[in-house]
Amino acid sequence: MAEKKTRVLIVGSRGRLAGSLLKYWSKSHEVTGLARPALDVSDLNSLPRILGDLEFDVLVNGTGLTNVDRCESAREEAHIVNALAPGVLAKCASQQGARLIHFSTDYVFDGKKREAYSEEDTPAPLGFYGTTKLEGEQRVLEQDARHMVVRVSWVFGPTKPSFADSLIERAMREDRVQAIEDKFSCPTSAEDTARWLEFFFESSVEGGLYHACNSGQCSWREYGEKALEFASEAGLTLRTNQVAPISLADMKQFIAPRPVFSMLSTRKLAATTGMTPRNWQEALREYIFKKYAPISSPT
Ligand SMILES: NC(=O)c1ccc[n+]([C@@H]2O[C@H](COP(=O)([O-])OP(=O)(O)OC[C@H]3O[C@@H](n4cnc5c(N)ncnc54)[C@H](OP(=O)(O)O)[C@@H]3O)[C@@H](O)[C@H]2O)c1
């Protein structure tokens, strides 16, 4: 008997994470993506009407005002998109008997702990982005115990360039590149995230709060150096393989305060799914080879 396909509706489907989820899950499920202008989550009143006309088993919220510095000034928009809209989406999902998968961030923590944060640790966001994301989490989880909040960190994937891609691009043009050496977290492969979360399509699997990232930890500089190493191996010609260190305090252009250590423990995810996230370097290498090796090899 053919396995039942899950009907998945992804809002904000052009995002870095959501785009990868859409592509990966479409191989085995019935996946629909909605993005602006068809659906603007800040128009809170329109959400029940638009979603009420659609059928889905799992609703995924890929939207977010993710520019951490912009959130400090665009406070009203950040609050609506990151805090209020998730609550409304959670209610819409509940009304249809569906599970919501909503994403949050390591930036809900202040970074003072020096070991990986678990789901039990008390959040204490430093900036407005983290504050609004935390409120969004609470609104989702208060609505329905089946819903899920998934905290991720340093996401990379093929839909949209991220830190690794922009550093590789800079190293192709410039002799010197730099990255922060005293801020630590763990990169998260968007494609691996799709694999882990597919497990939660089964409605009997417990919802709640989960941390999801690859294993290991690194500074931004170490992350950058590995990206350049793998890009060289994949055949790209770089002007430098070295990433010069700068400190977080030197980043005068940063407006929002950021946690210096925001590694997430994935023990709960592994215990629930039986899948232990692979090391970030392996996932990053695979991503870089898939994206850049075809460009570098002559046709
Ligand atoms: N990337 C990371 O490193 C990271 C780290 C921690 C947590 N997260 C969380 O992961 C989730 C996804 O992040 P991401 O990296 O995929 O972000 P992203 O690439 O910035 O995507 C966010 C998407 O939200 C959409 N959006 C924003 N406001 C909207 C609105 N009013 N109505 C409809 N769509 C709207 C944007 O649409 P447009 O394309 O139209 O602008 C964009 O496609 C977010 O919840 C974020 O907080 C990400």
Mean of per-residue pLDDT scores for the chain = 95
Residue 286 lies in a domain: no
The CB density around residue 58, as the number of other CB atoms within 10 Å, is 23
Contact between residue 87 and residue 59 where contact means Cβ atoms under 8 Å apart: no
Statement: residue 3 has pLDDT above 70: no
Q: Atom 42, ligand 1: which residue's CA is nearest?
A: 15
The angle that helices 85-95 and 128-143 make with each other, rounded to 10 degrees, is 20
Whether 18 lines ligand 1, by a CB cut-off of 6 Å, is yes
Rounded mean pLDDT of 56-85? 98
Query: Quick check: 82 pLDDT over 50?
Result: yes
Per-residue pLDDT reduced to its tens digit, 125-155: 999 999 999 999 999 999 999 999 999 999 9
Q: How many CB atoms lie within 10 A of CB 274?
A: 8
What is the number of the ligand 1 atom nearest to the C-alpha of 85? Answer: 31
| Nearest partner of 41 among 21, 23, 65, 20, judged by Cα | 65
Residue 246 belongs to a domain: no
CATH number of the domain bearing residue 58: 3.40.50.720
Q: Would you say residue 254 lies in a domain? A: no
With residue 103 as reference, give the H or E element that holds it. strand 99-105
- Asked, for residue 270, whether it belongs to a domain, the answer is yes
Residues contacting residue 124 through CB under 8 Å, at least 6 positions apart: 108, 109, 110
Q: Which of 63, 76, 108, 192 to mutate to test the pocket of ligand 1 (most atoms within 8 A of CB)?
A: 63
Q: Is 110 in the pocket of ligand 1 (CB under 6 A)?
A: no
Q: Is residue 244 part of a domain?
A: no
**Is 129 an active-site residue?**
yes
Q: How many domains does the chain have?
A: 1
Q: What is the mean pLDDT of residues 276-290?
A: 97
Compute the distance from residue 158 Cα to the ligand 1 centre, in Å: 14
Tokens 């396995």, residue? 3
Active-site position among 24, 129, 210, 287: 129
Q: Average pLDDT for residues 223-246, to the nearest whole number?
A: 96
What's the whole-model pTM score? 0.96
Q: pLDDT tier at 1 (50, 70, 90 boundaries)? A: very low
In a domain, 80, yes or no: yes
| Residue at 248 is within a domain | no
Mean pLDDT for the stretch of residues 203-217: 95
pLDDT of 230: 97
The answer to whether position 266 is within a domain reads yes
Which range marks the domain in which residue 157 is found? 7-161+187-215+262-279
